[in-house]
Amino acid sequence: MAKPTRKHFAGFLFEESEQGRFFEQLILRYLGGPFQYEPLASFDNRQRHLFLLKGPAGSALLAEAPENAQGSAFHHQLAFWTKTPDGLHHVIELDAFRWDRHLESIRTGTDPFPGISQRKAKELNEARRREIANKRDRVSLRIGRGSVWRQLAGINKSVIAAAVASLEIGTTSAPAYATPAVPPSDSVDETTRRVHTILTEWLGSVDLDAERRLSFPVGSTRVFVDTRDWSAPGGLVTVFAVTNKHVPKTPELFEYLVAHSENYVFGRLGAWLDDDHAWVVFRQTLLGATLDPIELKNAVGAVASVADELDDEIKARFGGALFHEATPAEPKASTQQELPTGFYL
């Protein structure tokens, strides 16, 4: 451990993607509003840095890993940690990817913006950075006790503990979506709280997107859990998985979906339709007011197993791609592609 060599962390990551802004919003909610920060220490030959954050509702740690080149982008990682009075550890990680013109030139052997003015090249460069950031950036949330975090941005827990031994790290409360489970009620916020707590305590680490959907990989697909307001008390909790994406819209596909949509005791097969393709989805919807851990876990298990079983068959019969696969439209497929918003069949 060395004395701090960085005065500021990479705050620019907050401004260049929806996920970055969401990460900042989470920090503000934990700390109760605007916060101050100070450098604490540097590690690994001054490549990793640790900062203390202080806000109206308490304090937290922010760790930063060194940037590293991955293809045409630099990968950055920030990790936030705090503890609430109930003894729960809360860890939020931001994995950010920033496209770089020089790295692209090295990868392809050509300048992506040849023969244009510096001003125009700068505009195109910034637009490309934002595009890649919004596609690839990811926010992950973990809540639990004891071993929920072993390191932050590559810094070992025991090393961090030594660095902050004289500090009292913690917040007086947690955001509505990150507090312990509460008895069922009419509140959608309480349903959201309950869902987040059940999943993070069960799975340890789940991803949290800008739409506040939790998701995690299962086999060749990814399961999403989304809580929404509805006329019923407590709202609705939808557990779904995209089995296949960019599937050509054909009469044979629609006939298959109709014939198989009601074949399952739990869940239903359907599709999102955009202008050109279909995204095949298996989903199950639960009432939020009476949701309990066993019901949610059973729904996740049912959706995950059916989706992981169907995706290869659907791809072989109708084309398209599995959820995790790259496509011409998404040459760098990530774990959290933007989901379609078209008509649901």
Q: What is the pLDDT of residues 3-21, one digit of tens each?
A: 777 789 988 888 888 888 8
Each residue's pLDDT tens digit, 208-246: 776 778 888 887 788 999 988 877 778 889 999 999 999
pLDDT at 333 over 50: no
38: which 2 tokens? 């100070």
Phi, psi for residue 116 in degrees, rounded to 5: -125, 165
pLDDT at 177 over 60: no
Q: What average pLDDT does the chain have?
A: 83
Share of the chain above pLDDT 70, in %: 87
Q: Tell me the average pLDDT across 293-311.
A: 88
Q: Tell me the average pLDDT across 280-293.
A: 89
Q: Tell me the average pLDDT across 85-111.
A: 88
Which region among 28-32, 162-166, 226-230 has the lowest average model confidence (pLDDT)?
162-166
Which residues 6+ apart lie within 8 Å of 333 measured at CB? Answer: 324, 325, 326, 327
Type and span of the H or E element at 309: helix 293-318
Type and span of the H or E element at 251: helix 251-260
DSSP string, 290-304: T--HHHHHHHHHHHH
pLDDT at 21: 87
Chain-centre distance of CA 216, in angstroms?
A: 9
Q: How many residues does the chain have?
A: 345
